[in-house]
Amino acid sequence: MPRKSSDLLKRRLKIAELVDRQGEIKVEDLSALLGVSGVTIRGDLSYLEQQGYLKRSFGGAIATPTPSGASSQEDADSPPPLTLANKIEIARHCSRTIAERETVFLGHGETIRRIIPFLSGLSHLRLIVNDLQHALLAEQFIDGEIIVAGDELIRHRSLLTGRALDDVIQRFTVNHCILEVGLDDASGECRIDQPLLARHYQRCLDKALNTIAVINNVVESSGPVNSLGNLSQMKTLVAHRYINEHFQQLISDAEFSIRYSNNECFTWSNRNFPGE
């Protein structure tokens, strides 16, 4: 299985972070900062553009615009949208929980997809995905088995659902189930944006040895159809600083304690789970 070298991965992630932080940067500046040729930098930029990290510009690259979502009249207490650098740091935190020879289920979503390159240094993984874009990226980075699960395509999305997804989840011992969720700050319910996947993800959460919720936004109560259950049912939480500040009291009340942090991204562990 082809894998990217560690130096190549680190350089490309560094480029993505620099572009996201500065908004725009020139090839010659990146070449000087990273100590590689302009030809190498241009190859990196082409790859990063294909993966959605940035946009090529004349002589350099620019950051991809962050969706504004609602207008400036949106509730000022709501956390701002996650930047690309935020998503990369979240992915880095998630990857620290995974070891060689484990079976990992990655739910759909752009932030979850960012985890895959960080797994390139681990051997003999079994990666289960139902997001076709995850599978394409995993081909480049994963040393081990890649299983694309599901037999029904969700229209207008590269996502699979159906009985075959449940069959795969039941067949293997899942060490880590990692899902991107929105959190209802009134009820503590974890919700996803795809109701057709809720019951399948719930089965995976029930079976997995470690359940990791990546909290990406605040949601309003909208009924149980896309709920994955209460926050207290998760074993591990990963949240960026803005999300952490917004939900800190709710997370603490649900008996979580900080496992590690770099002051930008936080990993929480549920004290009610054995071994925590």
pLDDT of residue 73: 42
Show the CA angle centred on residue 216, arms to residues 210 and 217, nearest 5°: 130
Q: Provide CB contacts within 8 A for 169, sequence distance 6+.
A: 105, 128, 149, 200, 203, 204, 207
pLDDT of residue 260: 87
| Nearest CA among 124, 122, 119, 146 for reference residue 135 | 146
pLDDT by residue for the chain (276 residues), tens only, comes to 445 567 888 898 889 888 888 888 999 989 988 889 999 999 999 989 888 888 998 889 998 865 544 444 445 556 677 788 888 889 999 999 999 999 999 999 989 999 999 998 899 999 999 999 999 999 989 999 999 999 999 988 899 999 999 999 999 999 999 999 999 888 889 999 899 999 999 999 999 999 999 998 877 655 556 899 899 999 999 998 888 888 888 898 899 999 888 878 999 999 988 765
| Nearest CA among 138, 16, 162 for reference residue 83 | 16
Contact 98, 176 (CB under 8 A): yes
Show the CA angle centred on residue 97, arms to residues 178 and 49, nearest 5°: 65
**Burial level of 159, CB count in 10 A (0-12/13-18/19+)?**
buried
164 to each of 44, 76, 107, 190, how far by Cα in Å?
37, 43, 15, 24
Contact 267, 258 (CB under 8 A): yes
| Nearest CA among 3, 1, 33 for reference residue 18 | 33
CA–CA separation, 224 and 228 (whole Å) = 8
User: What amino acid occupies position 247?
Assistant: F
Rounded (10°) angle between helices 38-50 and 27-34:
110
Write phi, then psi, for 224 (nearest 5 degrees): -85, -5
pLDDT of residue 179: 97
User: What amino acid occupies position 70?
Assistant: A
